Amino acid sequence: MDSLYQLVRQPSNVVIVTHKNPDGDALGSSLALAAVLSKLRHTVKVVLPNDFPPLFNFLPGIDNAIIGEMNPAEAVEAFEKADIIFCLDFNSLDRIDRFGLDVASADRATKILIDHHIDPEPFADHIISNTSASSTAELVYDFLVDMKLETYIDIPIAEAIYTGILMDTGSFRYGTNERVFEVAAALKRLGMDDYLLQIRLFNSMTEKQLKLLGHCLANRMELISEYQTGIIWLDRVDYKNWAIGRGDTEGIVNYVLMVRNMKMAVFISEQQNVTKLSFRSKGNINVQEICSQYFNGGGHRNASGGMMKASVKDTLAKVKEIIPLTMNSYQLQHDQ
């Protein structure tokens, strides 16, 4: 921390990179840190491997982020020039696709990982990893406090941090700890309008998104009550018929867990080249293990993701094969 304290006070070229398909925590934590470091006269570039959902358009500085998929040369140049690379909200370099190679080969840069996912790979010079943290945004707030930089947090920065916290805790419903409520209080004390953020983030669906949710629940959901697991799937035809875009399926997986006694939820979506899986669970059911063992993925105990190079049909079959194996190793109980 002492060496980082010196480092952040010396204006330099900083790159902040976060994971592919960036979510509210990836974006909020990255943009908050970028805004503070810009105030310290660093030249800061935020690199997103691919585009972000329009829901997050309001975050400070998001328009200046380099979208790697669209401007790869600009992203590569940023990594080459970097004196410091912050890696936020991911635990292994394959989470940033081809830019993992650029981070790995950026020998002159000091690499700092700030993350809350299980099993961080040791690719950084400094690793701030806390799997008990609600979000990377919470860890960025604490990092700013440790660096004695919290006075630089203005209202847009507070909103970015709070966005990360809200999205990763589902509005303080899961993944919470004592500290995250203290951080929220500190942000509110600064004058951040938390009610406005709730409306922006959770009451801002498009009509299409709400109807797509209806389609998923009415036509694409299968509950296997014996194993207290539910699955929702969308295939390529759904993607075409509904013109599904980035962010349109965000959060749909969580609805399965609203059903009494459901312990695990799986959302399967057929993308261009791969089929993506999202897992959610309640209590001690460990979906991180399932995703790392079977689906080349990972994340957190109760929220993980992965992928399979197979059709939706084959992926569904694989999931159904795994469910009994996994769920039988738990003493399943009904909700109280």
Query: Which residues of the chain form contacts with ligand 5GP (CB under 6 A)?
Result: 19, 95, 117, 278, 297-300, 303-307
The length of the chain is: 336
The set of residues, in sequence order, having a beta carbon less than 8 Å from that of 51 and lying 6+ positions away, is 67, 69, 70, 246
CA neighbor of 136 nearest in space, from 119, 157, 115: 115
| Least gap, CB of 133 to ligand 5GP (angstroms) | 12
96 vs 160, beta carbon nearer ligand 5GP: 96
12 vs 306, beta carbon nearer ligand 5GP: 306
C-alpha–C-alpha distance, residues 221 and 232, integer Å: 4
CA neighbor of 42 nearest in space, from 198, 147, 193, 191: 147
42 vs 300, beta carbon nearer Mn ion: 300
User: Does 270 help bind Mn ion (rule: CB under 5 A)?
Assistant: no
Size of interface with Mn ion, in residues (CB under 5 A)? 4
C-alpha–C-alpha distance, residues 180 and 135, integer Å: 9
Return the amino acid letter for 189. Answer: R
- Subset of residues 84 to 113 that bind Mn ion, contact rule: CB under 5 A: 89
CA neighbor of 267 nearest in space, from 246, 250, 244: 250
12 vs 275, beta carbon nearer ligand 5GP: 275
C-alpha–C-alpha distance, residues 82 and 108, integer Å: 8
Residue 17's H or E segment, with its range, is strand 13-18
Both tokens of 206, joined, read 């498009």
| Least gap, CB of 39 to ligand 5GP (angstroms) | 28
Return the amino acid letter for 3. Answer: S
140 vs 147, beta carbon nearer ligand 5GP: 140
The set of residues, in sequence order, having a beta carbon less than 8 Å from that of 104 and lying 6+ positions away, is 93, 123
C-alpha–C-alpha distance, residues 336 and 327, integer Å: 19
The entry of ligand 5GP, Mn ion, none that residue 275 binds, CB within 5 to 8 Å by partner kind = none
The entry of Mn ion, ligand 5GP, none that residue 59 binds, CB within 5 to 8 Å by partner kind = none
- Subset of residues 16 to 35 that bind Mn ion, contact rule: CB under 5 A: 25
103 vs 153, beta carbon nearer ligand 5GP: 103
The entry of Mn ion, ligand 5GP, none that residue 306 binds, CB within 5 to 8 Å by partner kind = ligand 5GP
The entry of ligand 5GP, Mn ion, none that residue 159 binds, CB within 5 to 8 Å by partner kind = none
76 vs 307, beta carbon nearer ligand 5GP: 307
| Least gap, CB of 89 to ligand 5GP (angstroms) | 7
User: Does 115 help bind Mn ion (rule: CB under 5 A)?
Assistant: no
User: Does 248 help bind Mn ion (rule: CB under 5 A)?
Assistant: no
Both tokens of 114, joined, read 């700030």
Site residues for Mn ion per CB under 5 A? 25, 89, 136, 168
